[in-house]
Amino acid sequence: MKTRMVLVVSVMALAGLVLADSSAWARERSRSGSYKGKKTSGTGAYSSSTNTATGKTTSRSGKVAKQGNYSLTVDGKRITPQGKTVDVDKTITKTEDGRTVSGTYSSSTGKTGTIGSDVDRSRDSVHKDQYVTNQDGLTGKRAITTAKSGDTTTRETTITDPLGREHKFTQSVTVDNNDNDDNEE
């Protein structure tokens, strides 16, 4: 009886996770934008929106300007599914092995803070460190390492909340490159 109860609770928990994230499965995306090439002013604009299965919409839009050979500035706006807006100003700088991002945000609810990330690429892996610091000085961090070994790609994520608690997740995907079809007669 105890095993059956554990199984029922496990199935219910799994079903709850699936239903809670079902909007991620059914998305409709539309994107549009423009960018002027190297020989023009080096400015551009972007916009995108996502409609979920529950009828909620998120959108992003903004302007991009080239600053020298290795840097861009972005003045963007995001609208959440609840209709709140977040304005983001950031600078993206190309580095030898990736890129660095630093900037600020402000929301329609009066929240402000700073954002940043560093991306380092090597031949077989990508490592990304991200942070958000709010107006109270509390910082949340996320570190993501994606590595490929043969036909398997593994993504390890560590999230550190503002209280210093770590949450770790690992995902792996193996691609079967076998050209033989087992269903052929």
Using DSSP's 3-state secondary structure scheme, residue 130 falls into strand
CB within 8 A of 86, min separation 6: which ones? 77, 78, 79, 80, 105, 106, 107, 108
Q: What is the DSSP string of 51-77?
A: EETTS-EEEEEEEEEEETTTEEEEEEE
- Residue 3 predicted with pLDDT over 80: no
> Per the structure, how many domains does the chain have?
1
Is 127 a domain residue? no
Compare 97 and 6 and report the one with higher pLDDT: 97
- The arithmetic mean of pLDDT across residues 134-156, rounded, is 95
- The arithmetic mean of pLDDT across residues 134-158, rounded, is 96
Average pLDDT, the chain: 82
* CA pseudo-torsion sign 14, 15, 19, 20: negative
Is 52 a domain residue? yes
Predicted TM-score (pTM) of this structure = 0.70
Domain around 43: 26-97
19-41: per-residue pLDDT in tens? 444 444 445 555 555 555 555 77
Contact between residue 135 and residue 122 where contact means Cβ atoms under 8 Å apart: no
Is 11 a domain residue? no
90-115: per-residue pLDDT in tens? 999 999 999 999 999 999 999 999 99
Question: How many angstroms separate the CA atoms of 175 and 160, rounded?
Answer: 31
Confidence grade of residue 178 (pLDDT, cut at 50, 70, 90):
confident
Residue 141: which H helix or E strand, with range?
A: strand 139-149
Task: Determine the pLDDT at residue 55.
Answer: 83
Task: Determine the pLDDT at residue 50.
Answer: 87
Tokens matching residue 1: 């009886």
